[in-house]
Amino acid sequence: MEKLLIATRSSPLAMWQAEAVAALLDIAGFRTELLPLETKGDKKLEVSLAKIGEKGLFTAELEDLLLRGEAHLAVHSAKDMPSQLPEGLEIIALTERENPEDVLVSYQPGIRLSEPGIRVGTSSTRRVATLARYFPTAVPVPVRGNLQTRFRKMQEGHCDAMILARAGVVRMGLAEYIRESLPADIFTPAAGQASLAIEAAENLSPNLKNTIRTALNHPLSEACIISERTFLRKMEGGCSIPVFALCRPETEQTFLLEAGIISTDGKLEVRKQFRFSAGPDYPHAIFRMAGENLASLVLGSGGSDILEKIKAG
């Protein structure tokens, strides 16, 4: 079987994720080679993601390799994927989702987000807006860089604690510093959080695509994330728009999609839920419909006004 060339960001977490994918492909009989790259989002650490305001900050360089035929697939954190992919590219698999919640991490045992004046490191507009709404005494501090860089900045005193995705913290062996699990009905995660997206060129061999998909795709996680990404696309969400979405199974065939938008100052929020049923084969059309219906509900309940104000600056 031919060697698969896998494009990935070069940060330790991204490399861990790509190596995990490569290990699954090795089991399926492939030989693999990683092609690590620095992306624009990795380089522009002095500017907040919202101010950069570009799509694909953590994906564009990897996607160029796919479009040029210099890599067979790229591994991304699903939450970093723009809602609209460049022409000629597609997500061919989504890995099994781990716990998608946000957590508070700190070197200080016993610290809590409710402590007045706590300085909280985050580069996420969603998390900053959520802090402003639900924890107004917290002081957001912009902290960017890979996970190790962020922990070093916290150790140097830039902030007392940070809000991060549990999945990344656990993957990097830093779970001992988790001080608080943040409730998903307040800190609802970004679409796709805790899953890996496998991207490829549309003209990749169908047989090869199917073999990769069989080795990597998790149907339940994929279906739920399709509903979240459909919501994101209709909301025109990106790094500068504080939107959130999480779809979870309640029973074997019943699902709950919770999603919404929050103003950057935290003063306004539209949050809605949509329950729906789907068969055991998780038909994608039903999950897309759930995302579209909930986005229409959010936009029609004041979400469009919040969106317009955010875009107007």
Indicate if 144 belongs to the active site.
yes
DSSP tag of 249: E
Please compute, for residue 183, the number of CA atoms within 13 A of its CA located in the half-sphere on the CB side: 4
Active-site residue, from 9, 42, 80, 272? 80
DSSP 62-74: HHHHHHTTS-SEE
Q: Active site residue: 97, 127, 229, 272, which one?
A: 127
Catalytic residue status for 127: yes
Task: Check 9, 42, 102, 126 and give the catalytic one.
Answer: 126
Q: Which of 9, 97, 144, 171 is catalytic?
A: 144
**Catalytic-role residue among 9, 166, 209, 239:** 239
Please state, in angstroms and rounded to a whole number, the distance separating the CA atoms of residues 216 and 213. 5
Annotated active-site residue 80? The verdict is yes
Instruction: Name the burial class of residue 136, with classes exposed (0-12), middle (13-18) and buried (19+) by CB atoms within 10 angstroms of its CB.
Output: exposed
Decide if 79 is catalytic. Answer: yes
Beta-carbon contacts of residue 129 (< 8 Å; ≥ 6 apart): 242, 262, 263, 264, 265, 266
Given a contact cutoff of 8 angstroms between Cβ atoms, the answer to whether 9 and 74 are in contact is no
Q: Is 55 a catalytic residue?
A: no
Tokens at 262, concatenated? 């929050």
With H, G, I as helix, E, B as strand and everything else as coil, classify residue 176: helix
Whether 150 is catalytic is yes
What are the backbone angles phi and psi of residue 226, rounded to the nearest 5°?
-60, -40
**Distance (Å, rounded) from C-alpha 255 to C-alpha 232?**
18
Among 42, 97, 102, 150, the active-site one is: 150
Catalytic residue among 79, 97, 166, 229: 79
**Catalytic residue set:** 79-80, 126-127, 144, 150, 239
